[in-house]
Structure 1
Amino acid sequence: MRSEEVAHYLRDNPRFFEDHIDLIANVVVPHPHAGRTISITERQMLALRDKNRQLEGKMGELLQFGEENDAISVKMHRLAVGLIAARSFQSLLHTLNFHLRDDFAIPHVAVRLWHRPEGSDELPEFADVSRDLQAFAETLAQPYCGTTSGFETSGWFGEAATHVRSQALIAMRNSGGTIGMIALGSEDSERFYTAMGTIYLERLGEMASAALARVLS
């Protein structure tokens, strides 16, 4: 008989060892970590211990993820409170930059808005943005994360542009239309990568959009 057939037989006949109780004490199997044999009962205990260690490792990972998410949620709350408290365009930009750099350790932050209010010609936030990039922002169902290669957004980071290796681009929307974009840059090529989760970036975009629409109105 093949080993698969033996295993299948034992699964289908759970009373086998009740009818042959002496086998449990007499059958020996190789020790998984040593060059000796042990009883089937000892082998089962070792298997249970290994499984417990694996479960403990998984539990540790879940706890770590939970703690990290809690920390991010606290930072997002602080940012939201700051954006709500901002009464002017400049104070809102200062709040956004401060929290992203100090709380989230994002070294480079740039904002661009499509529609320029009167008296804002010299502000970089209202500098001209190509129609191609505006069209790209319209297509973003979620933030883009990845390389800066091929994007004019790399120039938004000023003197640091040549050192930025990864970026996140977040479309800002109001009343169903795209009003601008937030660009986050990092010298670390793995800080913003293609497969990363974007839920907090999406929330950032929603909060910033609502706050900017309020102060600009």
Structure 2
Amino acid sequence: LREKIKGLEHRIMDMVRNGNENVIIADKLQRWARSLLLTRAPGDLPERIAHEIEVQFSVPQVAIKVWGVSDEFAHSSWAQGVSEDAKIFASSLTAPFCGVNSGFEAVSWLANPAAAMSIALMPLRTGVLNSPSPAFGMLVLASPDGQRFESAMGTDFLERIAELAGAALSRLRV
């Protein structure tokens, strides 16, 4: 019985620790979303999204691409250099892809692709992430830590980031 009680105590401590970590992540998500709302010029949003993810969540590398934008934004670096295959791949994702960098085109959008050992690929849509609507962009998070973004990790916060970023970036579209 004592061993059972100790085991339950450890599980409770783990749940409290996980709850505290989730509160910290939720606070970071709120600060990130606030920075998007304070961005006045729509053309500044892609770079703000990437920069604030790097700062708020300590992600070493972030890249973003948006396609189907109005002519006003077509010259921007974040609106160029995406193949049709990458667009089709982004539209096929109904949840963030997390795992080992296995040569995805989107990794080449990063400043230092060779340092990306683990990645998270997040499609950008105007609706919820798992909607059937085609993606109009993709957000790439990368880390030199091979375990930072792994296939077994929970993606709830990554889904919220993708949905908020998609909603904010919808102002850039045709």
Fold shared by both chains (TM-score > 0.5): yes
Tell me the TM-score normalized by structure 2.
0.89
Rg bigger for which structure? 1
Greater shift, 171-180 or 100-109, is seen at 171-180
Q: Which residue matches 1:167? A: 119
- Aligned AA for 1:91? D
- The aligned runs of 1:72-87 (5 Å cut-off) are 72-87=25-40
Question: What is the distance in 1 between the residues matched to 2:172 and 2:65?
Answer: 15
Aligned residues of 1:88 and 1:215 also touching (Cα < 8 A): no
Contact 1:79 1:95 in 2 (8 A): no
Greater relative contact order structure (CA < 8 Å, 6+ sep): 2
Question: What code does the residue aligned with 1:74 have?
Answer: D
Structure 2's unaligned 5+ residue stretches are 128-132
Alignment match of 1:144 (pick from 89, 97, 102) = 97
Q: Which of residues 144, 168, 171 in structure 2 aligns to 1:211?
A: 168
Q: Which runs of 4+ in 1 moved over 4 A?
A: none
Q: Pick which of 68-77 and 89-98 moved more.
A: 89-98
Identity of aligned residues (%): 34
Structure 2 SS opposite 1:200: helix
Cα drift, residue 151 of structure 1: 0.8
How many residues align? The count is: 169
Structure 2 counterparts to residues 95-174 of structure 1, below 5 A: 95-158=48-111, 160-174=112-126
Cα distance 1:94–1:151, how it changes in 2: closer, same or farther (>3 A)?
Answer: closer
Q: Distance in 1 between matches of 2:168 and 2:135?
A: 14
Aligned to 1:182: 139
Q: Please, which of 132, 156, 161 is the counterpart of residue 199 of structure 1? A: 156
TM-score (norm 1): 0.72
CA RMSD in angstroms comes to 1.7
